[in-house]
C-alpha cells in the first residue's frame, strides 16, 4: 500500500530528502512488470542541453512519445509531400538511448493541414487520402514504433462520435479502415486508440469499448487503448475505480497504457496541492501496476518548463513531476511509490 500520509507528513516537516529516488521511474516500472515509464518530448526543446540530458536518463525514461512532429500537419503538409525530419530527430534520439518509441498520431481531427479539412472529398477520395497518409508515414517508421496511436480523440464527452472530416465523409468506418491500413504498413507495431476522459468510465469510456469491438468486428487489428490521463489536481479517480475501468478494456483482449499524464494545478501551486498531486500521480501509477495488461505509463513531457498546460488552461500549470528548473517535485516520489519503488 502507498504511504501518502507519511509522505505528506514528511513534506510538511521538511524532512523529505531530494532526490528521493532509490531507483528511477523506469527502473521501478520495469521491476514491477510494466514495459516502460516514459515521457513525451518535442523538437524545440531538444536544443536545451540540461533538458535533453535528463530526457536521456533511462533510469527514469525507457520510452519517448513524439509530441507533435508525427502529426498530419507536420508529416504531410501538402498532399503527398512528406516531411519526416523532425519526427526522425525524436525517434533517433530515443533509439540512441535504447528507449521505446510511442509514435503519435495518424488520424486526428486536430492539427490537420487545410488541404485535408477543406478538400471536396468523396468517400472514395478521402479514404484513398487517408490510406496514402497512413501507409507512407507508418512505412517510413516501420520497425521503429513500439506503439502507434492510430486514431486519436474520435469521441465526444457524451460518447457520440466527434465530428470531423473523416466521420462526415467516410462515416464511422474510417476508424477500422485506419487500423487496417496501419496494420498493413507495419504488422509489428502495437496499434492504439488514444483518448482523454476515459478514466472515469461512463458514456465516453463505453463508446471507446465500442470502438475496440467495432475494429475487432471489422476484422482489423487493434492492440491497445491509450488513457491520456490529463487531470486537474484532486480529480483523479481512486486507483481501484480506475483499475476497474482499465480491466473493462483488457477484458476485450487489448492492452492499455497511460499515455499523456499530467495533473494541473491552479497557480501559484501551494504545498498542499503539490502533495495532493503526488497522491494523484501515485494513484494513477498504482492502478496501472494493478492491472494485468496495463503495459506502460507516459507523462506529457516531464518538466513544467515545457508543459502544454499553461497555454491551454490559463491560470493552471505545475502539472508535471519536474519543476521549471528540472528539479523533482513531490509528484516524482508519488509516482515512484505508485510504481512500487522506494522513496527514501
Ligand X SMILES: *[C@@H]1O[C@H](CO)[C@@H](O)[C@H](O)[C@H]1NC(C)=O
Stretch that binds ligand X, among 165-173, 201-209, 227-235, 327-335 (CB under 6 A): 165-173
Does 90 participate in binding ligand X (rule CB under 6 A)? no
| Residue from the set 123, 139, 235, 270 that interacts with ligand X by CB under 6 A | 123
- In the complex with ligand X, which residue's Cβ is closer, 56 or 250? 56
Complete DSSP assignment for 215-229: HHHTT----EEEE--
- Which distant-in-sequence residues (6+ apart) come within 8 Å of 257 by Cβ? 147, 192, 224, 225, 226, 227, 288, 294, 295, 296, 297, 298
Does 122 participate in binding ligand X (rule CB under 6 A)? yes
Which residues are 231's β-sheet partners? Answer: 263
Residue 260 catalytic?
A: yes
| Residue from the set 17, 96, 219, 314 that interacts with ligand X by CB under 6 A | 96
Specify the DSSP class assigned to residue 177: H
- Cβ atoms of 195 and 154 within 8 Å: the answer is yes
Specify the DSSP class assigned to residue 270: P
- In the complex with ligand X, which residue's Cβ is closer, 32 or 89? 89
Question: Shortest approach of ligand X to residue 128 CB, angstroms?
Answer: 10
Residue 337 catalytic?
A: no
Does 56 participate in binding ligand X (rule CB under 6 A)? yes
| Residue from the set 2, 93, 236, 291 that interacts with ligand X by CB under 6 A | 93
Which residues are 255's β-sheet partners? Answer: 224
Helix-strand-coil percent breakdown of the chain, rounded to 5? 45, 20, 40
- In the complex with ligand X, which residue's Cβ is closer, 10 or 126? 126
Does 47 participate in binding ligand X (rule CB under 6 A)? no
Does 81 participate in binding ligand X (rule CB under 6 A)? no
Question: Shortest approach of ligand X to residue 5 CB, angstroms?
Answer: 38
Q: Give the C-alpha separation, 177 to 15, whole Å.
A: 55
- In the complex with ligand X, which residue's Cβ is closer, 52 or 214? 52
Stretch that binds ligand X, among 60-68, 140-148, 169-177, 249-257 (CB under 6 A): 169-177
Q: Is the peptide bond before 159 cis (omega within 30 degrees of 0)?
A: no
Residues 180-209 that bind ligand X (CB under 6 A): none
Q: List, in sequence order, the alpha helices (H) in the chain.
A: 4-12, 25-31, 49-55, 72-75, 85-96, 114-117, 123-140, 165-170, 174-185, 202-217, 239-250, 271-289, 309-312, 330-338
- Cβ atoms of 100 and 148 within 8 Å: the answer is no
Annotated catalytic residue within 27, 76, 255, 260: 260
| Residue 168: closest CA among 111, 219, 117, 112 | 117
Question: Shortest approach of ligand X to residue 80 CB, angstroms?
Answer: 19
Annotated catalytic residue within 27, 35, 76, 153: 153
Q: For residue 132, what is its C-alpha cell?
A: 496514402
Residues 15-44 that bind ligand X (CB under 6 A): none
Question: Shortest approach of ligand X to residue 46 CB, angstroms?
Answer: 9
- In the complex with ligand X, which residue's Cβ is closer, 36 or 196? 36
Does 49 participate in binding ligand X (rule CB under 6 A)? yes
Does 127 participate in binding ligand X (rule CB under 6 A)? yes
Q: For residue 339, what is its C-alpha cell?
A: 510504481
Q: Give the C-alpha separation, 106 to 76, whole Å.
A: 11
Stretch that binds ligand X, among 82-90, 120-128, 203-211, 287-295 (CB under 6 A): 120-128
State which residue has the least CB distance to ligand X.
Answer: 96
- In the complex with ligand X, which residue's Cβ is closer, 5 or 49? 49
- In the complex with ligand X, which residue's Cβ is closer, 93 or 269? 93
Number of Cβ within 10 Å of residue 111's Cβ equals: 12
Handedness of CA 307, 211, 199, 225 (dihedral sign): negative
Residues that bind ligand X (CB under 6 A): 49, 52-53, 56, 93, 96-97, 120, 122-123, 127, 170-171, 173
Active site residue ranges: 153, 260
Amino acid at each position: 500500500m502507498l504511504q501518502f500520509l507519511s509522505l505528506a507528513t514528511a513534506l510538511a516537516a521538511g524532512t523529505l530528502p531530494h532526490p528521493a529516488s532509490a531507483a528511477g521511474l523506469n527502473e521501478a516500472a520495469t521491476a514491477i512488470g510494466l514495459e516502460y515509464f516514459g515521457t513525451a518530448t518535442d523538437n524545440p526543446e531538444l536544443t536545451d542541453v540540461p533538458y535533453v540530458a535528463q530526457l536521456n536518463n533511462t533510469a527514469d525514461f525507457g520510452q519517448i512519445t513524439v509530441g507533435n512532429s508525427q502529426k498530419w500537419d507536420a508529416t504531410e503538409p501538402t498532399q503527398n509531400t512528406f516531411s519526416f525530419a523532425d519526427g526522425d530527430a525524436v525517434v533517433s534520439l530515443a533509439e540512441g538511448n535504447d528507449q521505446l518509441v510511442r509514435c503519435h498520431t495518424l488520424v486526428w481531427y486536430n492539427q490537420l493541414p487545410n488541404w485535408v479539412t477543406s478538400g471536396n472529398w468523396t468517400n472514395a477520395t478521402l479514404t484513398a487520402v487517408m490510406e496514402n497518409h497512413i501507409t507512407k508515414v507508418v512505412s517510413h517508421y516501420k520497425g521503429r514504433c513500439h506503439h502507434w496511436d492510430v486514431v486519436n480523440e474520435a469521441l465526444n464527452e457524451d460518447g457520440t462520435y466527434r465530428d470531423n472530416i473523416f466521420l462526415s465523409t467516410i462515416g464511422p468506418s474510417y476508424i477500422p479502415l485506419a487500423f487496417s491500413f496501419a496494420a498493413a504498413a507495419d504488422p509489428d507495431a502495437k496499434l492504439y486508440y488514444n483518448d482523454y476522459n476515459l478514466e472515469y468510465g461512463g458514456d465516453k469510456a463505453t463508446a471507446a469499448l465500442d470502438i475496440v469491438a467495432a475494429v475487432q468486428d471489422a476484422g482489423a487489428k487493434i492492440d491497445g487503448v491509450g488513457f491520456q490521463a490529463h487531470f486537474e489536481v484532486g480529480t483523479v479517480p481512486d486507483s481501484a475505480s480506475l483499475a476497474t475501468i482499465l480491466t473493462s478494456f483488457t477484458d476485450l483482449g487489448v492492452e492499455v497504457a497511460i499515455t499523456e499524464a499530467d495533473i494541473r494545478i491552479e497557480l501559484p501551486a501551494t504545498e498542499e496541492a503539490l502533495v495532493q498531486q503526488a497522491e494523484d500521480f501515485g494513484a494513477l501509477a498504482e492502478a496501472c501496476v494493478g492491472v494485468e495488461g496495463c503495459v506502460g505509463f507516459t507523462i506529457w513531457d516531464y518538466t513544467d518548463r515545457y508543459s502544454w498546460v499553461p497555454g491551454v488552461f490559463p491560470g493552471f500549470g505545475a502539472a508535471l513531476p519536474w519543476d521549471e528548473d528540472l528539479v523533482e517535485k513531490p509528484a516524482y516520489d508519488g509516482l515512484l511509490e505508485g510504481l512500487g519503488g522506494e522513496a527514501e
